Amino acid sequence: MSARGSGLDPITFELIHEGLVAAALEMGGVLKRSSYSPIIRDMEDFSCALFTAEGELAAQADYIPAQLGAMGLVVRSILTRWGLTLADGDVFLANHPYLGAMHTPDLNVIRPVFHAGRLLAWAGTAAHHLDVGGVNPGTEGPALQEVYAEGLLLPPVHLDRRGAEQADLVQILAANVRDPASTIADLRGQRAACRLGAARLLELVARHGALRVRAALAEALAASARATRAALLDLADGAASSEGFCDDDGRQGPPTRIHAQVRKRGARLRIDLSGSSAQVAGAINVPWASTRAAVVYAVRAMVQPDAHVNDGLLEPVTLVCPEGSVLNPHFPAAVSVRHNTCQRLADVLIRALSALWPERAVASSSTAFFAVNIGSRSPVHGGAAVLADVAGGGTGAHAAGDGLDGVDTYLSNVGLMPVEVAESQYTVRIRRTELIPGSQGRGQFRGGLGLRRDYEILDLPQCVTYYAEQTDPRFAPAGTAGGGPGRPSRLVRIDPSGREVAIPSKGTATFAPGSVLRVETSGGGGYGPVRRRPAVLRRRDTSDGRDPIESTPRQRPPARAARRARRTV
């Protein structure tokens, strides 16, 4: 709906739009505080947003870019399947990666919002659940070959019909997951967040009228598109390309190529991913929703970082990616570990756009995205429990300063699981969590430090699924403008005797009690020649121990030291 004829002046638009964003933020607060699972409650692996009646994301809370850039496709899948029978009080559940979702552990709970019997908008959440079934605890598995092995597949189905929870569906879910109490409780937390989002939308209608709220939802998209086109017009025309590689195909096969060619002309940007590898045997394939989310992230970061993000941002962008690509696979290719590939795609897009616009160049961040799922036991109730954790790395340096240390980079924004939570809810001990001195790329400005964390298995053998990237030094985070690369990632298994055993970058294995899984994530790349690093920053590097080489005083050669001593006398 156009703002023209709706009585929507600029001030009223801003008031309504900020109300929409505030509602999405408040939805996140409800979900975080009502969740049973640490991955949602403590690590904040969830997202909340509001959508137009047509299913376009119009306002979001900035949680996880990988989820936010994809959720609108889920709403559109609901409209395709249920659009003619929607009713007030309906709530939908979906996780099917080939019907708009990302991977099966990310469950989408979406609610249509009605006013005066007419569909007004949608309120939606996406949250990573600890387990949705499948062959491995935690559902994910890098070596899986079909999506059927990745837990319960849910096309858009009713979680509620006209306000009544669907008991049969709840029973099916509970029978197919390893920790049903947490899963069902978390779904109800998502539903509560959607209920609040719907209430806030209707409060805006009561204050401003339905016509203006509908117009504001449409104007939010149009404003984002205009801002993106204006930002593109201010940037130089040109073309550039970049490529990067995942360490393997998920099954210890050859590296997987990710390639992007970008071309900017006027107010349009064309992104062609056709040069990427064909879909692979393992589970690092990326469903279309996640590829789209990576593009949204990169365009926002490099073109219009200050704008509100919604689906209007993609209006000036043409995206090319053939079916059968690792970035757009054919059903039923496995996709549960798609996020590692998404991180590499985000980095490749940033590299290409940095080449196109050197004044905005930034060094590569860690794409290690180490993740672990441990099929454990709860020391509280003695039942099955799944520990899920993510360890970040260093971000790339840039012209304005150093990178950040030990954060979940690019499309991610997940927190590190608190040690107290891990040790109180699972039979796992976190032996250490520390930054890795010297892991950063050197330069005028330095990349962020990588992270080291040790997980010790207690009491009983436990099934561990783990995966990471950038263990191959060739694919370590690159520097830019003369900066050096970050240190690559490293994974080690330490057996109960203390012996270190080399392990691949991805796998599923049973760890005996007393075994330790150690991860060392990659540091960010550096920016600019190291000789230009300001002296005050060099002194800080030495004093805070970031650089183990420079923190040790250099020893002068004996002859030079003797000559200096004679001159002093």
pLDDT of 146 strictly over 80: yes
Q: What is the mean pLDDT of residues 342-359?
A: 97
Q: Helix 210-233 to helix 10-34 angle, to the nearest 10 degrees?
A: 100
Please say if the pLDDT value at position 42 is more than 90: yes
Query: Contact, 358 vs 236, CB < 8 A?
Result: no
Q: Per the structure block, which two tokens stand in for 563?
A: 């000559």
Q: Would you say 423 and 430 are in contact if contact means Cβ atoms under 8 Å apart?
A: yes
* Among the listed residues 487, 419, 414, the one whose alpha carbon sits nearest the alpha carbon of residue 447: 487
Phi, psi of 54 (to 5 degrees): -85, -5
- Please state, in angstroms and rounded to a whole number, the distance separating the CA atoms of residues 57 and 80: 16
In this structure, is residue 159 part of a structural domain? yes
Residue reference for tokens 């030094």: 473
Q: Report the DSSP beta bridge partners of residue 109.
A: 93, 125
Assess whether pLDDT exceeds 90 at residue 531: yes
- From CA 507, how far away is CA 464, in angstroms rounded? 8
Residue 361 has pLDDT above 80, yes or no: yes
Distance CA 370, CA 490 (A): 10
**Can you tell me the distance from the alpha carbon of 484 to that of 493, in angstroms, rounded to the nearest whole number?**
29
Q: For all residues of the chain together, what is the average pLDDT?
A: 94
Q: Is residue 331 part of a domain?
A: no
The answer to whether residue 562 scores a pLDDT higher than 50 is no
Tell me which residue range forms the domain holding 132: 10-226
Per-residue pLDDT for 82 more than 80?
Answer: yes
DSSP 8-state symbol, 562: H
Q: Classify residue 165 as left (phi > 0), alpha (psi -120 to 50) or beta.
A: beta
Enter the tokens of residue 478: 């690159």
User: Does residue 206 belong to any structural domain of this protein?
Assistant: yes
In a domain, 486, yes or no: yes
Give the containing element (helix H, strand E) for 270: strand 268-272
3-state class of 110 per DSSP? strand
pLDDT of residue 161: 98
Which residues make beta-bridge pairs with 532?
A: none
Q: What percent of the chain has pLDDT over 70?
A: 95
Is 304 part of any domain?
Answer: no
Q: Is residue 237 part of a domain?
A: no
Domain's final residue, options 226, 251, 285 = 226
User: 168 and 23, same structural domain?
Assistant: yes
Among 61, 67, 51, 75, residue whose Cα is nearest residue 29: 61
Report the pLDDT value the prediction gives residue 63, as an integer from 0 to 100.
Answer: 83
Residue 238: what are its φ and ψ, rounded to 5°? Answer: 160, -175
User: How far apart (Å, rounded) are the C-alpha atoms in residues 399 and 362?
Assistant: 7
What digits encode the pLDDT tens for the residues 189-242? 999 999 999 999 999 999 999 999 999 999 999 999 999 999 999 999 999 999
Identify the sign of the CA torsion 241, 245, 246, 251.
positive
Q: Quick one: average pLDDT of 311-340? A: 97
What confidence tier does 554 reach under pLDDT thresholds 50, 70, 90?
very low
Overall number of domains in the chain: 2
Helix, strand, coil share (%) of the chain residues, nearest 5: 35, 25, 45
Residue type, 9: D
Tokens 């404003």 sit at which residue? 223
Q: Are residues 220 and 367 in the same domain?
A: no
Do the domain assignments include residue 298? no
| End residue of a domain, out of 226, 247, 278 | 226
Dist. CA 105–CA 131, nearest whole Å: 6
User: Are 222 and 367 within one domain?
Assistant: no
| pLDDT tens digits along 500-530 | 998 999 999 999 999 999 999 999 999 999 9
Q: 5 falls in which pLDDT band (50, 70, 90)?
A: low
> In the structure, what pLDDT confidence band is assigned to residue 568 with cuts at 50, 70 and 90?
very low
End-to-end CA distance of the chain: 87
Confidence of residue 70 (pLDDT cuts 50, 70, 90): confident
Average pLDDT over every residue of 276-284: 98
Half-sphere exposure in the Cβ direction for 393 (13 Å, CA): 37
Burial class (CB in 10 A: 0-12, 13-18, 19+), 504: middle
pLDDT tens digits, 89-133: 999 999 999 999 999 999 999 999 999 999 999 999 999 999 999
Choose the final residue of a domain: 204, 226, 248.
226
Residues 431 and 516: beta-carbon distance below 8 Å: yes
Whether 51 is covered by a domain: the verdict is yes
Q: Using one digit for the tens of pLDDT, what is the confidence trace for 427-472?
A: 999 999 999 999 999 999 999 999 999 999 999 999 999 999 999 9
Q: Indicate if the pLDDT at residue 549 is higher than 80.
A: no
Q: What is the pLDDT of residue 336?
A: 98
Pairing of strands 370-377, 462-467: antiparallel
Is a pLDDT exceeding 70 seen at residue 3? no
Query: The whole model's pTM is what?
Result: 0.93
pLDDT band at 4 (very low <50, low <70, confident <90, very high): low
Report whether pLDDT(32) > 60: yes
Q: What one-character DSSP code corresponds to residue 289?
A: H
- The pLDDT-based confidence of 66 (bands split at 50, 70, 90) is confident
